[in-house]
Structure 1
Amino acid sequence: MSTFNVPKREEVSENNQAIFDNLEKAVGFVPNLYATYAHSENALGNYLTLANAKTSLKAKEKEVINLAVSEVNNCTYCLSAHTAIGKMNGFTDDQILELRAGYASFDNKLDALARLSKNITENRGAASEAVVDNFLNAGWTKENLIDTIVVVGDKTISNYLHRTTNVPIDFPVAQPLQSVEV
Protein backbone atom coordinates (compact mmCIF):
# COMPACT_ATOMS: atom_id res chain seq x y z
CA MET A 1 0.00 0.00 0.00
CA SER A 2 1.35 3.42 -0.82
CA THR A 3 1.73 5.95 1.94
CA PHE A 4 -0.49 9.02 1.85
CA ASN A 5 1.24 12.35 2.06
CA VAL A 6 0.87 14.29 5.28
CA PRO A 7 -0.37 17.72 4.23
CA LYS A 8 1.55 20.75 5.44
CA ARG A 9 -0.21 23.81 6.84
CA GLU A 10 0.06 25.71 3.54
CA GLU A 11 -1.55 22.80 1.68
CA VAL A 12 -4.81 22.74 3.66
CA SER A 13 -7.84 25.00 3.73
CA GLU A 14 -7.98 28.16 5.81
CA ASN A 15 -10.35 26.44 8.24
CA ASN A 16 -7.93 23.53 8.68
CA GLN A 17 -4.99 25.93 9.02
CA ALA A 18 -6.73 27.47 12.04
CA ILE A 19 -7.18 23.99 13.53
CA PHE A 20 -3.49 23.24 12.84
CA ASP A 21 -2.58 26.45 14.70
CA ASN A 22 -4.73 25.42 17.69
CA LEU A 23 -3.19 21.96 17.74
CA GLU A 24 0.28 23.47 17.57
CA LYS A 25 -0.53 25.60 20.64
CA ALA A 26 -2.21 22.77 22.56
CA VAL A 27 0.16 19.85 21.86
CA GLY A 28 3.23 21.51 20.41
CA PHE A 29 2.83 19.92 16.97
CA VAL A 30 0.20 18.66 14.54
CA PRO A 31 0.17 14.86 14.73
CA ASN A 32 0.44 13.29 11.28
CA LEU A 33 -2.86 11.45 11.63
CA TYR A 34 -4.69 14.69 12.45
CA ALA A 35 -3.02 16.40 9.51
CA THR A 36 -4.23 13.55 7.30
CA TYR A 37 -7.83 14.29 8.27
CA ALA A 38 -7.23 17.74 6.72
CA HIS A 39 -7.29 16.24 3.22
CA SER A 40 -11.01 16.79 3.81
CA GLU A 41 -12.42 20.26 4.39
CA ASN A 42 -14.59 19.01 7.27
CA ALA A 43 -13.22 15.74 8.62
CA LEU A 44 -10.58 17.18 10.98
CA GLY A 45 -12.98 19.57 12.69
CA ASN A 46 -15.71 16.94 12.85
CA TYR A 47 -13.35 14.32 14.28
CA LEU A 48 -11.94 16.67 16.93
CA THR A 49 -15.48 17.66 17.93
CA LEU A 50 -16.30 13.98 18.47
CA ALA A 51 -13.02 13.18 20.23
CA ASN A 52 -13.34 16.16 22.58
CA ALA A 53 -17.09 15.90 23.21
CA LYS A 54 -18.47 15.84 26.76
CA THR A 55 -18.59 12.35 28.22
CA SER A 56 -19.20 10.60 31.52
CA LEU A 57 -15.75 9.02 31.19
CA LYS A 58 -12.54 10.50 32.59
CA ALA A 59 -9.47 10.95 30.38
CA LYS A 60 -7.74 7.95 31.97
CA GLU A 61 -10.80 5.78 31.31
CA LYS A 62 -10.89 6.87 27.67
CA GLU A 63 -7.25 5.75 27.37
CA VAL A 64 -8.25 2.28 28.56
CA ILE A 65 -10.70 2.13 25.65
CA ASN A 66 -8.27 3.67 23.15
CA LEU A 67 -5.56 1.11 23.95
CA ALA A 68 -7.85 -1.94 23.86
CA VAL A 69 -9.56 -0.88 20.62
CA SER A 70 -6.33 0.08 18.86
CA GLU A 71 -4.81 -3.30 19.71
CA VAL A 72 -7.79 -5.22 18.34
CA ASN A 73 -7.72 -3.06 15.20
CA ASN A 74 -3.94 -3.49 14.91
CA CYS A 75 -3.28 0.24 14.53
CA THR A 76 0.38 0.91 15.37
CA TYR A 77 -0.08 4.68 15.02
CA CYS A 78 -2.86 4.85 17.62
CA LEU A 79 -1.13 2.33 19.89
CA SER A 80 1.98 4.51 19.79
CA ALA A 81 0.06 7.74 20.46
CA HIS A 82 -2.07 6.24 23.22
CA THR A 83 0.87 4.51 24.88
CA ALA A 84 2.40 7.99 25.28
CA ILE A 85 -0.92 9.51 26.40
CA GLY A 86 -1.56 6.56 28.73
CA LYS A 87 1.78 7.22 30.44
CA MET A 88 0.83 10.91 30.76
CA ASN A 89 -2.37 9.71 32.49
CA GLY A 90 -0.40 7.67 35.03
CA PHE A 91 -0.37 4.15 33.58
CA THR A 92 2.86 2.14 33.83
CA ASP A 93 4.38 0.24 30.90
CA ASP A 94 3.08 -3.07 32.31
CA GLN A 95 -0.40 -1.65 32.84
CA ILE A 96 -0.45 -0.35 29.26
CA LEU A 97 0.45 -3.85 27.97
CA GLU A 98 -2.42 -5.32 29.98
CA LEU A 99 -4.86 -2.69 28.69
CA ARG A 100 -3.76 -3.42 25.12
CA ALA A 101 -4.49 -7.10 25.81
CA GLY A 102 -7.97 -6.12 27.01
CA TYR A 103 -7.77 -6.45 30.76
CA ALA A 104 -6.49 -4.67 33.90
CA SER A 105 -5.42 -6.94 36.78
CA PHE A 106 -4.52 -3.80 38.76
CA ASP A 107 -8.05 -2.33 38.91
CA ASN A 108 -11.37 -4.21 38.91
CA LYS A 109 -13.41 -1.39 37.42
CA LEU A 110 -10.88 -0.62 34.65
CA ASP A 111 -10.69 -4.36 33.99
CA ALA A 112 -14.41 -4.44 33.20
CA LEU A 113 -13.98 -1.40 30.93
CA ALA A 114 -11.02 -2.91 29.06
CA ARG A 115 -12.80 -6.24 28.62
CA LEU A 116 -15.94 -4.52 27.32
CA SER A 117 -13.97 -2.32 24.91
CA LYS A 118 -12.09 -5.31 23.50
CA ASN A 119 -15.27 -7.40 23.26
CA ILE A 120 -17.26 -4.70 21.48
CA THR A 121 -14.46 -4.18 18.97
CA GLU A 122 -13.79 -7.86 18.33
CA ASN A 123 -17.49 -8.55 17.85
CA ARG A 124 -18.18 -5.45 15.73
CA GLY A 125 -20.60 -4.03 18.27
CA ALA A 126 -22.30 -7.26 19.32
CA ALA A 127 -20.94 -7.32 22.86
CA SER A 128 -21.50 -10.48 24.84
CA GLU A 129 -24.18 -10.26 27.51
CA ALA A 130 -21.79 -11.62 30.15
CA VAL A 131 -19.22 -8.90 29.40
CA VAL A 132 -21.88 -6.16 29.55
CA ASP A 133 -23.25 -7.58 32.83
CA ASN A 134 -19.71 -7.68 34.25
CA PHE A 135 -19.24 -4.04 33.22
CA LEU A 136 -22.46 -2.93 34.94
CA ASN A 137 -21.77 -5.10 38.02
CA ALA A 138 -18.32 -3.45 38.35
CA GLY A 139 -20.05 -0.13 39.09
CA TRP A 140 -20.38 1.38 35.63
CA THR A 141 -23.69 2.89 34.54
CA LYS A 142 -25.74 2.61 31.36
CA GLU A 143 -24.56 6.15 30.56
CA ASN A 144 -20.96 4.92 30.84
CA LEU A 145 -21.86 2.01 28.54
CA ILE A 146 -23.20 4.35 25.85
CA ASP A 147 -20.22 6.70 26.22
CA THR A 148 -17.84 3.72 25.95
CA ILE A 149 -19.44 2.72 22.66
CA VAL A 150 -19.00 6.29 21.38
CA VAL A 151 -15.29 6.22 22.29
CA VAL A 152 -14.92 2.80 20.61
CA GLY A 153 -16.40 4.35 17.47
CA ASP A 154 -14.19 7.44 17.74
CA LYS A 155 -11.05 5.33 18.06
CA THR A 156 -12.12 2.95 15.30
CA ILE A 157 -12.37 5.90 12.89
CA SER A 158 -8.75 6.87 13.56
CA ASN A 159 -7.62 3.24 13.45
CA TYR A 160 -9.22 2.82 10.04
CA LEU A 161 -7.81 6.12 8.78
CA HIS A 162 -4.28 5.08 9.67
CA ARG A 163 -4.69 1.51 8.42
CA THR A 164 -5.88 2.92 5.08
CA THR A 165 -3.42 5.82 4.67
CA ASN A 166 -0.35 4.40 6.45
CA VAL A 167 0.96 7.88 7.31
CA PRO A 168 4.27 7.91 9.24
CA ILE A 169 4.06 7.48 13.01
CA ASP A 170 5.31 10.57 14.82
CA PHE A 171 5.31 9.16 18.37
CA PRO A 172 7.70 6.63 19.91
CA VAL A 173 6.57 3.44 18.15
CA ALA A 174 4.73 0.92 20.32
CA GLN A 175 6.19 -2.53 19.99
CA PRO A 176 3.98 -5.51 19.09
CA LEU A 177 2.15 -6.88 22.09
CA GLN A 178 4.11 -9.72 23.61
CA SER A 179 2.17 -12.59 25.08
CA VAL A 180 0.55 -11.27 28.21
CA GLU A 181 -1.65 -13.67 30.15
CA VAL A 182 -5.29 -12.67 30.12
Structure 2
Amino acid sequence: MSTFNVPTRAEVSPANQAIFDNLEKGLGFVPNLFATYAHSENALGNYLALSGAKTSLNAKQKEVVNLAVSQVNECNYCLAAHTAIGKLNGFTDSQILELRAGEASFDSKLNALARLARNITENRGAADQEVVANFFNAGWTKENLVDTIVLVGDKTISNYLHRTTEVPVDFPAAQPLEAVTV
Protein backbone atom coordinates (compact mmCIF):
# COMPACT_ATOMS: atom_id res chain seq x y z
CA MET A 1 0.00 0.00 0.00
CA SER A 2 1.29 3.41 -0.93
CA THR A 3 2.29 5.94 1.66
CA PHE A 4 2.18 8.62 -1.04
CA ASN A 5 -0.95 10.69 -0.53
CA VAL A 6 -3.38 11.82 -3.19
CA PRO A 7 -3.76 15.54 -2.53
CA THR A 8 -7.21 17.01 -2.12
CA ARG A 9 -8.30 20.24 -3.76
CA ALA A 10 -7.61 22.13 -0.50
CA GLU A 11 -4.02 20.86 -0.47
CA VAL A 12 -2.98 22.10 -3.91
CA SER A 13 -2.09 25.50 -5.34
CA PRO A 14 -4.77 27.86 -6.68
CA ALA A 15 -3.68 27.08 -10.26
CA ASN A 16 -4.06 23.34 -9.61
CA GLN A 17 -7.40 23.95 -7.86
CA ALA A 18 -8.67 25.53 -11.08
CA ILE A 19 -7.49 22.47 -13.03
CA PHE A 20 -9.21 20.19 -10.48
CA ASP A 21 -12.43 22.18 -11.03
CA ASN A 22 -12.15 21.73 -14.81
CA LEU A 23 -11.49 18.01 -14.41
CA GLU A 24 -14.54 17.72 -12.13
CA LYS A 25 -16.67 19.46 -14.75
CA GLY A 26 -15.33 17.41 -17.65
CA LEU A 27 -14.87 13.95 -16.10
CA GLY A 28 -17.06 14.13 -13.02
CA PHE A 29 -14.04 13.52 -10.76
CA VAL A 30 -10.32 14.17 -10.45
CA PRO A 31 -8.47 10.93 -11.20
CA ASN A 32 -5.99 10.06 -8.46
CA LEU A 33 -3.06 10.06 -10.84
CA PHE A 34 -3.89 13.55 -12.10
CA ALA A 35 -4.22 14.73 -8.50
CA THR A 36 -0.79 13.26 -7.78
CA TYR A 37 0.73 15.48 -10.47
CA ALA A 38 -0.60 18.43 -8.42
CA HIS A 39 2.06 17.88 -5.76
CA SER A 40 4.03 20.01 -8.22
CA GLU A 41 2.98 23.57 -8.97
CA ASN A 42 3.47 22.99 -12.71
CA ALA A 43 3.42 19.27 -13.51
CA LEU A 44 -0.35 18.79 -13.75
CA GLY A 45 -0.86 21.67 -16.17
CA ASN A 46 2.21 20.70 -18.18
CA TYR A 47 1.16 17.05 -18.38
CA LEU A 48 -2.42 17.88 -19.41
CA ALA A 49 -1.10 20.26 -22.07
CA LEU A 50 1.13 17.50 -23.45
CA SER A 51 -1.53 14.81 -23.35
CA GLY A 52 -4.15 17.12 -24.85
CA ALA A 53 -1.92 18.59 -27.56
CA LYS A 54 -2.79 18.32 -31.26
CA THR A 55 -1.60 15.13 -32.91
CA SER A 56 -2.05 13.27 -36.18
CA LEU A 57 -3.45 10.31 -34.21
CA ASN A 58 -7.16 10.18 -33.48
CA ALA A 59 -8.56 9.22 -30.07
CA LYS A 60 -8.89 5.53 -30.95
CA GLN A 61 -5.34 5.37 -32.32
CA LYS A 62 -4.03 7.10 -29.20
CA GLU A 63 -5.63 4.39 -27.05
CA VAL A 64 -3.82 1.74 -29.10
CA VAL A 65 -0.53 3.35 -28.08
CA ASN A 66 -1.61 4.03 -24.49
CA LEU A 67 -2.60 0.39 -23.92
CA ALA A 68 0.52 -1.12 -25.49
CA VAL A 69 2.88 1.22 -23.63
CA SER A 70 1.13 0.83 -20.27
CA GLN A 71 1.34 -2.96 -20.60
CA VAL A 72 5.07 -2.93 -21.33
CA ASN A 73 5.61 -0.55 -18.40
CA GLU A 74 3.33 -2.70 -16.17
CA CYS A 75 1.30 0.28 -14.94
CA ASN A 76 -1.90 -1.03 -13.33
CA TYR A 77 -3.35 2.47 -13.02
CA CYS A 78 -2.93 3.34 -16.69
CA LEU A 79 -4.06 -0.12 -17.80
CA ALA A 80 -7.27 0.33 -15.81
CA ALA A 81 -7.85 3.89 -17.03
CA HIS A 82 -7.10 3.14 -20.68
CA THR A 83 -9.17 -0.04 -20.65
CA ALA A 84 -12.13 2.15 -19.67
CA ILE A 85 -11.22 4.81 -22.25
CA GLY A 86 -10.61 2.13 -24.89
CA LYS A 87 -14.15 0.84 -24.35
CA LEU A 88 -15.48 4.39 -24.72
CA ASN A 89 -13.63 4.50 -28.06
CA GLY A 90 -15.34 1.35 -29.31
CA PHE A 91 -12.84 -1.41 -28.52
CA THR A 92 -14.15 -4.69 -27.14
CA ASP A 93 -12.63 -6.44 -24.12
CA SER A 94 -10.81 -8.94 -26.34
CA GLN A 95 -9.51 -6.19 -28.63
CA ILE A 96 -8.20 -4.26 -25.61
CA LEU A 97 -6.32 -7.34 -24.42
CA GLU A 98 -4.79 -7.76 -27.87
CA LEU A 99 -3.76 -4.10 -27.96
CA ARG A 100 -2.13 -4.46 -24.56
CA ALA A 101 -0.14 -7.37 -26.01
CA GLY A 102 0.95 -5.07 -28.85
CA GLU A 103 -1.22 -6.70 -31.51
CA ALA A 104 -4.45 -5.97 -33.37
CA SER A 105 -5.50 -8.97 -35.47
CA PHE A 106 -8.79 -7.17 -36.16
CA ASP A 107 -7.16 -4.24 -38.04
CA SER A 108 -3.86 -4.39 -39.96
CA LYS A 109 -3.16 -0.66 -39.66
CA LEU A 110 -3.78 -0.62 -35.90
CA ASN A 111 -1.67 -3.80 -35.64
CA ALA A 112 1.32 -1.95 -37.11
CA LEU A 113 0.72 0.93 -34.65
CA ALA A 114 0.41 -1.37 -31.63
CA ARG A 115 3.52 -3.31 -32.62
CA LEU A 116 5.49 -0.09 -33.07
CA ALA A 117 4.37 1.35 -29.71
CA ARG A 118 5.27 -1.89 -27.93
CA ASN A 119 8.61 -2.16 -29.72
CA ILE A 120 9.64 1.44 -29.03
CA THR A 121 8.75 1.03 -25.35
CA GLU A 122 10.45 -2.34 -24.92
CA ASN A 123 13.61 -1.08 -26.63
CA ARG A 124 13.62 2.33 -24.90
CA GLY A 125 13.34 4.16 -28.20
CA ALA A 126 15.60 1.98 -30.34
CA ALA A 127 12.83 0.58 -32.51
CA ASP A 128 13.56 -2.41 -34.72
CA GLN A 129 13.81 -1.18 -38.30
CA GLU A 130 11.59 -4.02 -39.53
CA VAL A 131 8.82 -2.85 -37.18
CA VAL A 132 9.25 0.73 -38.43
CA ALA A 133 9.15 -0.45 -42.06
CA ASN A 134 5.97 -2.44 -41.37
CA PHE A 135 4.46 0.70 -39.79
CA PHE A 136 5.11 2.70 -42.96
CA ASN A 137 3.96 -0.19 -45.20
CA ALA A 138 0.64 -0.19 -43.31
CA GLY A 139 0.02 3.37 -44.51
CA TRP A 140 1.34 5.44 -41.63
CA THR A 141 3.42 8.59 -42.27
CA LYS A 142 6.56 10.13 -40.79
CA GLU A 143 4.28 12.58 -38.96
CA ASN A 144 2.43 9.61 -37.44
CA LEU A 145 5.77 8.08 -36.38
CA VAL A 146 6.87 11.26 -34.61
CA ASP A 147 3.46 11.69 -32.96
CA THR A 148 3.52 8.04 -31.83
CA ILE A 149 6.92 8.54 -30.20
CA VAL A 150 5.66 11.67 -28.42
CA LEU A 151 2.65 9.68 -27.19
CA VAL A 152 4.91 6.85 -25.97
CA GLY A 153 6.78 9.49 -23.94
CA ASP A 154 3.54 11.01 -22.65
CA LYS A 155 2.23 7.66 -21.46
CA THR A 156 5.57 6.62 -20.01
CA ILE A 157 5.53 9.72 -17.79
CA SER A 158 2.22 8.66 -16.24
CA ASN A 159 3.32 5.03 -16.04
CA TYR A 160 6.43 6.04 -14.13
CA LEU A 161 4.54 8.40 -11.83
CA HIS A 162 2.16 5.65 -10.82
CA ARG A 163 4.83 2.96 -10.56
CA THR A 164 6.78 5.24 -8.20
CA THR A 165 3.91 6.58 -6.07
CA GLU A 166 1.53 3.60 -6.21
CA VAL A 167 -1.46 5.85 -5.51
CA PRO A 168 -4.78 3.96 -5.42
CA VAL A 169 -6.33 3.02 -8.77
CA ASP A 170 -9.74 4.67 -9.06
CA PHE A 171 -10.87 2.92 -12.26
CA PRO A 172 -12.16 -0.66 -12.56
CA ALA A 173 -9.17 -3.02 -12.58
CA ALA A 174 -7.97 -4.19 -15.98
CA GLN A 175 -8.28 -7.88 -16.80
CA PRO A 176 -5.06 -9.89 -16.52
CA LEU A 177 -3.30 -10.06 -19.89
CA GLU A 178 -3.17 -13.86 -19.67
CA ALA A 179 -6.84 -13.74 -20.68
CA VAL A 180 -5.81 -12.75 -24.22
CA THR A 181 -6.47 -15.26 -26.99
CA VAL A 182 -4.63 -13.94 -30.05
- Pick the TM interval, shorter chain: over 0.9
Over the residues paired in the alignment, what is the CA RMSD in angstroms? 1.0
Aligned residue for 2:67? 67
Point out 4+ residue stretches in structure 1 off by more than 3 angstroms: 179-182
1:114 pairs with 2:114 = yes
Deviation of 1:181 after TM superposition, in Å, equals 5.4
Structure 2: which 5+ runs fail to align?
Answer: none
Matches of 1:46 and 1:3, distance apart in 2: 25
Matches of 1:49 and 1:24, distance apart in 2: 17
Deviation of 1:179 after TM superposition, in Å, equals 5.6
Deviation of 1:176 after TM superposition, in Å, equals 2.1
Deviation of 1:65 after TM superposition, in Å, equals 0.2
Aligned residue for 1:154? 154
Map of 1:120-131 to 2, 5 A cutoff?
Answer: 120-131=120-131
Matches of 2:147 and 2:111, distance apart in 1: 17
Matches of 2:104 and 2:42, distance apart in 1: 37
1:38 pairs with 2:63 = no
Deviation of 1:2 after TM superposition, in Å, equals 3.7
Map of 1:13-92 to 2, 5 A cutoff?
Answer: 13-92=13-92
Deviation of 1:171 after TM superposition, in Å, equals 0.3
- 2:24–2:30 contact (8 Å) kept in structure 1: yes
Structure 1: which 5+ runs fail to align?
Answer: none
Alignment-mate amino acid for residue 26 of structure 1:
G
- 2:97–2:179 contact (8 Å) kept in structure 1: no
Identity of aligned residues (%): 80
TM-score relative to the length of structure 2:
0.98
Deviations 1:33-71 (A, max 9, x none): 000000000000000000000000000000000000000
TM-score relative to the length of structure 1:
0.98
